[in-house]
Every structure is written in structure tokens, then in C-alpha cells.
């Protein structure tokens, strides 16, 4: 049973919507990609997300940017540094060493069985190359379930899925769908989404911008129902609250209620604990 108040899930009319900890944060007060928060998430069985960039030696490091300057005490492109070089750096938002893929592999062996860690891959298949695929296979092919791959490069997700077949797969077609919409309308969006849902390596989850989901639903296209009919789960990303301390405004509460009524399987948020509390307060009115 999920721990109430821990920012893990919301249940409405029997449907469970998990709250995913975006960039390993339970709130904006947490640093991005904090190992301590990840450990807590593993303990309680949270759904969490982190970003991975390929290194110069074929391994990976937990970073959002492809350069080191903003997030770390280093400079230059991530892909020009080895794991040993990156181990000497620190995250700027916390006094902690960078998390390498080798570290993740060790931590995952201790995770709660309901924990789910999303690897949001920031590179293309060409950038990762054979060295990256070999590294991924060596460190993650033997792990139990508990990891889901995602990213904008579907060829990369396909290649990584072949390296570690037990790992779940997630596709994010949002950018493509937003380009299709003004040209081909909702019918074109439905066709494009259906193609993703029926991809040769079938996704376990599809990541869609939550505002796009609501806009489409208001015009008659239920993207979540379409996905569920194909046996694919939906993550609605990334929900923000104007004031996490106060809770939902009337407009925010109404929008969030509409989103939950569509039955997403997961909602990505930087404030999972505050979001759970805000919904409890708003739904009790």
C-alpha cells in the first residue's frame, strides 16, 4: 500500500494515477538529481525520473544538459569527459558527486519492488554509438524490473531495449504531434499517435504534454483512451502549481480534475507531495 502524503499517487474512483518525481525532486526545495532523494524514493516505491547524458567513454552520467557549465563545477561538453574525470566534479545545487551509470546500477539492486526509475535519454542513437550500447548492456541487462527508458530518439530507445529486453520502454512523441496538429488537424494527430502506440518495439508508456492532452480532449480526441485501447500507459508531463504552499487555485483545481478524469497512469511534477495535498484539499470542497 502506498504511503499517504508521500507524493506517490492519487486515487480517483478506483483509478490510481502515480505522481512521478521529476528530476528526482519531491519539491522545488530539493536539488535536481539528489542521490538522497533517489534513495528515499527507492525505499518507499516512488516513480522517479532522471536525465542521462552519454560520456566520452561510452558510459552515462545524470545530467540534463549536454554541457557541464550550468549544472556542475566543470566546463565543456559532457561527451568529451570520461567517468573518471566526471567523478571529480560536483553538482552546483548540492555538495555531491555526479551520479554515474555505474552508481545507478548498484542502487537499483536495493530498490522497493514498486519503485520505477525513468531514464530520460538525452542523446541520439548516433551519439551513444556501439560503446554506449555495450556499456548499457553490461550494467543494466541483468537488473530486475524497475527501469523505464524514454527519450526523443525512438531509434535509441529501440537499440537500448534490444540490449536489455526486461527494461520497459517509453516514447515521447509530443514535439512531433504538436507539429502535425496545425497541418493535419486532430485526425492527423490521432494517426501519428496510433503509429507510435503500434511501433515495432511496442512502448510500455507514452509521455505526452498534459496541456496538449486537455486541449485534444476538449476538441473530442481522448489521447489517453486511445493509448489505453492499445495497451499502453500514459504519463502526462510536467504539471506545475503556481503556489505549492497554498495549493490549487480554482482554475488549477478544475484543470487538474479534468486531467484526472481522463485517467492518466502517471503525472510528472516537481511538487509531488504538494500536488497530492492540493488535490486532497481541493477534492474535499
Cβ partners under 8 Å of residue 279, min gap 6: 10, 248, 253, 256, 260
Q: What is the pTM of this model?
A: 0.91
Residue 9 has a CB neighbour count (10 Å cut-off) of 21
Phi-psi sector, 220: left (phi>0), alpha (psi -120 to 50), beta: left
pLDDT, tens digit (0-9, with 9 covering 90-100), for 85-127: 999 999 998 989 999 999 998 888 878 888 999 999 999 999 9
Residue 142 pLDDT greater than 90, yes or no: no
pLDDT, tens digit (0-9, with 9 covering 90-100), for 181-228: 999 999 999 999 999 999 888 899 999 999 999 999 999 999 999 999
| Mean pLDDT computed over 52-59 | 98
Residue 76 pLDDT greater than 90, yes or no: yes
Q: Quick one: pLDDT band at residue 5, thresholds 50, 70, 90?
A: confident
More confident residue, 202 or 57: 57
Mean pLDDT, the chain, integer: 94
**Looking at residue 145, what is its pLDDT?**
65
- The domain segmentation of the chain, as residue ranges, is 19-171, 172-285
Residue 1 pLDDT greater than 80, yes or no: no
**Looking at residue 110, what is its pLDDT?**
78
**What is 19-171's CATH superfamily?**
Phosphatidylinositol (PI) phosphodiesterase (3.20.20.190)
Let me know: does 59 contact 86? Beta carbons within 8 Å: no
**Looking at residue 50, what is its pLDDT?**
94
**Looking at residue 130, what is its pLDDT?**
97
Q: Quick one: pLDDT band at residue 166, thresholds 50, 70, 90?
A: confident
Amino acid at each position: 500500500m502506498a504511503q499517504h502524503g508521500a507524493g506517490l499517487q492519487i486515487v480517483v474512483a478506483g483509478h490510481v494515477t502515480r505522481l512521478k518525481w521529476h528530476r528526482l525532486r519531491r519539491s522545488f526545495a530539493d536539488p535536481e538529481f539528489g542521490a538522497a532523494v533517489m534513495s528515499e524514493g527507492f525505499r518507499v516505491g516512488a516513480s522517479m525520473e532522471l536525465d542521462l547524458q552519454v560520456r566520452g567513454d561510452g558510459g552515462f552520467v545524470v545530467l540534463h544538459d549536454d554541457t557541464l557549465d550550468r549544472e556542475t563545477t566543470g566546463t565543456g561538453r559532457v561527451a568529451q569527459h570520461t567517468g573518471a574525470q566526471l567523478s571529480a566534479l560536483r553538482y552546483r545545487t548540492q555538495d555531491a558527486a555526479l551520479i554515474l551509470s555505474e552508481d545507478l546500477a548498484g542502487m537499483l539492486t536495493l530498490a522497493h519492488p514498486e519503485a520505477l526509475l525513468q531514464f530520460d535519454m538525452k542523446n541520439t542513437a548516433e551519439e551513444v554509438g556501439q560503446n554506449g550500447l555495450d556499456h548499457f548492456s553490461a550494467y543494466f541487462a541483468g537488473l530486475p524490473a524497475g527501469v523505464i527508458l524514454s527519450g526523443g530518439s525512438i531509434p535509441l530507445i529501440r537499440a537500448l531495449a534490444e540490449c536489455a529486453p526486461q527494461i520497459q520502454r517509453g516514447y515521447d512523441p509530443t514535439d512531433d504531434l504538436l507539429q502535425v496538429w496545425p497541418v493535419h488537424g486532430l485526425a492527423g494527430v490521432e494517426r501519428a499517435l496510433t503509429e507510435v502506440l503500434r511501433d515495432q518495439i511496442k512502448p510500455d508508456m507514452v509521455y505526452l504534454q498534459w496541456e496538449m492532452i486537455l486541449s485534444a480532449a476538449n476538441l473530442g480526441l481522448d489521447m489517453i483512451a486511445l493509448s489505453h485501447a492499445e495497451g499502453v500507459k500514459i504519463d502526462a508531463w510536467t504539471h506545475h502549481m503556481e503556489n505549492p504552499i497554498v495549493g490549487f487555485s480554482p482554475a488549477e483545481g478544475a484543470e487538474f480534475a479534468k486531467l484526472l478524469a481522463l485517467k492518466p497512469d502517471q503525472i510528472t511534477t516537481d511538487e509531488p507531495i504538494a500536488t497530492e495535498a492540493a488535490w486532497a484539499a481541493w477534492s474535499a470542497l
